[in-house]
Structure 1
């Protein structure tokens, strides 16, 4: 007997089985979890050890009192806009100022004009940013009374160039590969010279090694990971002896010698504070907090030109307080989110850079490198700030740029031009050098 066949009505839909509904939701969830795991544990990512803390424990409470708001810093002029990139540190000598750039050049500035003084590493001034590890990247600069320019190359070591030489060319004083207490220097950042304090009247160099885990291209991970492998190295140039005199620091950066040469002042970026470490005298080997809870990350620190008082200029990268924190501060007590966000940005940047190199596109390669190294910071507007403090840690003056026209500062270097005190403003991110005449 033939079976009865019934036809479905035209346009009718079959009900979706429950299993199919679950599969529709299940698959995207699985893909998302796989993506998250890949980002968090991809082999090309470094191991990170995110910890949780409250930003209210280390930032200034408000822009009141010694941090009272003004717009003095915004009045600075911008020199060489789009002609220089990353003028991180400036060193004056005999009426001229020397500054290192992203592309490996060291410029000589005079009368608001510049010439190329020399270059570091294998760079000839045309080094692509994404090859800075190979080419070299000048950071901290100092000039001795004899006219020797000492420069920290973040990847290769300490360099010395005679300014008075007919053809100035850097020579290597200390290599980053030198093992010091079992570790080479991963991220040399800044230095200061104690002239004549070493063997046979040679120089002693104090320098910050920001991290034993990350390098310069990983500045943001160094901060977000709260990496505490930073150290300060003392190097006797004649004896060629290096000693670790401070360790366990969270991103030590700027360093300066006090007038009596008994101690060094060290800016600890992640902890938003400045430390004083004694290198001579009865307190030698001890460390104390000079000032903490700063309204931003203290980068380089430099002696002012004042004769009446021992003061120092401190550059703050992004000025803010607990009343107006930024996104990074909001994530301080959310280590998982910081971890995921950091790795996601790095993965995207790495992918863009890979395709840029694959299709031989310098622009795309640069964009990928800028993404993964967070160089795109300069696309955002942050309050700029420079502090002048005395040797006891008291705030002497505070300069603001509330509109962010001057921001992301790495160094404030004071010089005397004519009868005026003049501040030159450096930055590892900006494409100009700021100049402010103090009234």
Structure 2
């Protein structure tokens, strides 16, 4: 099957997001729970629940003690959290927590470690997770060479050390499903759970692993040549896979990826102390299960930068960012 290539037609305009401050920085991923409330995490370890209706209200439901990134709300209200420092966690919101001396407790919410190592090695830079109906958890590790603070180094060197793993129902040792991924990031299951899709930020593509049927165990590409770095993924009610593009493709980086590894490392050593400045562009895309582009929304000169997550809910888009001090909320434009 030939993978779809991202179309080159001009994208539609993404409405200007309304910023809801969180009192913290870096709501890297966002999700919406069964009550229509936004769940996210910030850089001081807090897991927050946001009531987005005006006036907006923010409440803390737990603190992981690390740096939360990707998260997924489970059917029972608990939340899966990928923590860049502590591994794969499960959080019970404070109001539902009961006493449990065998688990870590932070700020009232119960925080359980589901996995903190793989084959005896510490689990670091755990990025995003999704739960299947049978209780399996599919989750990604972005890099085994660099941590969250040096994510740009992995993209420049193109280490291809990202992974997709599966935690069996009931826990146990994580199973390695895919290795050698280019900065593995967001992950989402198909509606029928026949396949799992993972974003490879460093390769500008969405990679698919078939879980059932005649193609079970096969890996292919759902869509390639995306116009930016795909970050977190979410699935809409109509089956659309929503992709946050954290930044546009850069010709200089494409050239660097073709250079020898020694050159790539040397460039990172020069760039590292200078830091990476994100462009003021916000862009999200909606991809169908067949790899066709359903929606492409972009805002130039956006005040909300480096969109790392997007969640569509009842005609609204909720945005997250690794840099901003709040989530963004805007109307989902009608499809042309």
Partner of 1:117: 61
Aligned-partner SS, 1:331: helix
- 1:333 to partner: Cα distance: 4.0
Aligned-partner SS, 1:256: strand
1:183 and 1:212 in contact (8 A); partners too? no
Partner of 2:327: 433
Q: Distance in 1 between matches of 2:171 and 2:11?
A: 49
Aligned-partner SS, 2:248: coil
Indicate which of 225, 238, 248 corresponds to 1:319: 248
Q: Which runs of 5+ in 2 are unaligned?
A: 98-107
- 1:326 to partner: Cα distance: 4.8
- 1:74 to partner: Cα distance: 4.4
Q: Give runs of aligned pairs for residues 144-293 of structure 1, distance below 5 A.
A: 144-163=74-93, 164-166=95-97, 167-175=108-116, 178-180=117-119, 183-195=121-133, 197=134, 203-293=135-225
Aligned-partner SS, 2:159: coil
1:186 and 1:213 in contact (8 A); partners too? no
Indicate which of 245, 266, 276 corresponds to 1:340: 266
Structure 1 vs Structure 2 CA RMSD: 2.1
2:142 and 2:163 in contact (8 A); partners too? yes
Q: Distance in 2 between matches of 1:89 and 1:292?
A: 23
Aligned-partner SS, 1:270: helix
Report the TM-score when normalising by structure 2: 0.86
Q: Distance in 1 between matches of 2:302 and 2:227?
A: 15
- 1:280 to partner: Cα distance: 2.2
After the TM superposition, which of the residue ranges 204-213 and 400-409 deviates more from structure 2?
400-409
Query: 1 or 2, which has the higher helix percentage?
Result: 1
2:87 and 2:124 in contact (8 A); partners too? no
Aligned-partner SS, 1:213: coil
Partner of 1:91: 31
Moved over 6 A (4+): none
1:173 and 1:237 in contact (8 A); partners too? no
Indicate which of 54, 69, 79 corresponds to 2:11: 69
Q: Deviations over 1:180-210 (max 9, x none)?
A: 3x64423210000013x1xxxxx11100011
After the TM superposition, which of the residue ranges 263-272 and 208-217 deviates more from structure 2?
208-217
- 1:253 to partner: Cα distance: 0.5
Partner of 1:377: 277
Q: Which runs of 5+ in 1 are unaligned?
A: 1-59, 122-135, 198-202, 350-370
After the TM superposition, which of the residue ranges 184-193 and 139-148 deviates more from structure 2?
184-193
2:27 and 2:320 in contact (8 A); partners too? yes
Q: Give runs of aligned pairs for residues 131-142 of structure 1, distance below 5 A.
A: 136-142=66-72
Aligned-partner SS, 1:305: coil
Partner of 2:101: none
- 1:254 to partner: Cα distance: 0.3
Indicate which of 91, 106, 109 corresponds to 2:47: 106
Q: Which has the larger radius of gyration?
A: 1
- 1:319 to partner: Cα distance: 2.2
Report the TM-score when normalising by structure 1: 0.67
- 1:409 to partner: Cα distance: 1.0
